[in-house]
Amino acid sequence: MPEQAVIVAIDIGTTKVGSLIAELDERSGGANVIGIGSVPSNGLRKGVVIDIDRTVQAVTGAIEAAERMSGYKVRSALVGVAGSHISSQNSRGMVAISGHRDVGDEDTQRAIEAARAVNIPNTRQILHVIPRGYVVDGQAGVRDPIGMTAVRLEVETHIVTASATSVQNLSKCVQRAGVEIDELVLSPLATAEAVLTDEDRELGVALVDVGGDTTDVAIFQDGSISHAATIPFGARSVTSDLGIVLRVPPDTAEGIKLRYATATPLDVDPDEVVQITSIGEELPHGVTRRHIAEVAQSRVQEILELVAREIDAAGATNRLQAGLVVTGGGSLLPGIARAARDQLGMASRPTSPRGLGGLTDQIATPQWAAASGLVIWGVRHWGMADERARSRASEGLGSRIGKLIKNLVP
């Protein structure tokens, strides 16, 4: 029985580990999600592994849940990487084209390798070298130089690096869960595959992925990424602030955030009162919902100020015509996109992942943007013709028979 070509994605976050298994569709060129797994995560902080055993357990649980749903046994997967240890820079590479001939694939690869030759500390490793554009004999703005006649080829690239130790620890967790790594992919790059359009990238856009402990920022200009950074605050920062101000335990603070918080306090009735019981008190007391919203707004404003700094660092201030695209679990805080629009003075919209088929109703939420993007990244960068895709998972005969029996028995 022939194996199906599949893509497996693992998104290891600070609040959950999500796993997706998707079959590639030869007719549409896309992928259909057939397996989903999600397990709470508490083995990471700020995107960095702090407890290997807990992280391994979460990865194992997410993979096993996706396997049970799909009937596939996972062998290897694409894994997202994020966290405060990520940094990026732009680099240029140049090569000569001997014989004044047409540019070929090997020439573009030589140019990219030349751009890759940057000095980075031995404590860091390169995750991606992404071509942003080419210059052919002084002619800039070339997207694809293949087939063009030239004597000199230059390439502008965006290089993403990560802490070697952080990457090794993350890889160790995945491998201890019994899964080999096909590729480590910067999470914001993957997320962009699921939430941004080609037009967004051309016009200029800032992708803001609000996670639990961190907020990932990726800025795209002229069709490609130009800047990536991680802000060390996320949705749990709002929870922590509420816990401190209201003097309630973390679980209670999280419930208050989910039920009552908003990033736009003026939208809240100033007379609406919420009853809470603070630590050390026996009787509940009233707190206005607007006060809760003001606490949340304060942290959101700080995150947005740091987003604005990253936009400025990228030289993209007043140049992002597509504005801000906000996603991730933290984007579910009511009013966050409107707060971004008002504070940063640009268009802003919350968004959920798209571009996949199959069980999409179960993952059509911002929390699944990174995992969905990893699948789409796999489809676009590995593809149906790549035999590596066919080795990511295999469907057991027992599970096939089990499905058949289930279908036959009333």
Residue 365 pLDDT: 95
Residue 99 pLDDT: 77
Task: Write out the two tokens for 154.
Answer: 């230059």
Return the axis-axis angle of helices 289-313 and 336-344, rounded to nearest 10°: 50
Measured CA to CA, the distance from residue 214 to residue 82 in angstroms comes to: 9
* Cα separation values, 358 from 26, 184, 266, 337, 355, Å: 14, 25, 40, 29, 10
Per-residue pLDDT tens for 333-387?
999 999 999 999 999 999 999 999 999 999 999 999 999 999 999 998 875 434 4
Measured CA to CA, the distance from residue 46 to residue 332 in angstroms comes to: 20
Task: Write out the two tokens for 258.
Answer: 């989910």
**Angle ∠(217,263,248) on CA atoms, nearest 5:** 105
Element (H, E) at 62: helix 52-70
Q: Which residues of the chain have pLDDT under 70?
A: 1-4, 383-410
Dihedral sign, CA of 290, 292, 298, 301?
A: negative
Residue 251 pLDDT: 95
Task: Write out the two tokens for 329.
Answer: 């679990």
Measured CA to CA, the distance from residue 18 to residue 39 in angstroms comes to: 7
Correct CATH for 87-163 of 3.30.360.10, 3.30.1490.110, 3.30.70.20, 3.40.190.10: 3.30.1490.110
Task: Determine the residue type at 240.
Answer: S
Q: Map out the domains of the chain as residue ranges.
A: 87-163
- pLDDT more than 90, % of the chain: 82
Kindly report the pTM of this predicted structure. Answer: 0.89
Residue 4 pLDDT: 54
Measured CA to CA, the distance from residue 176 to residue 56 in angstroms comes to: 6
Residue 111 pLDDT: 94
339: left (phi over 0), alpha (psi -120 to 50) or beta: alpha
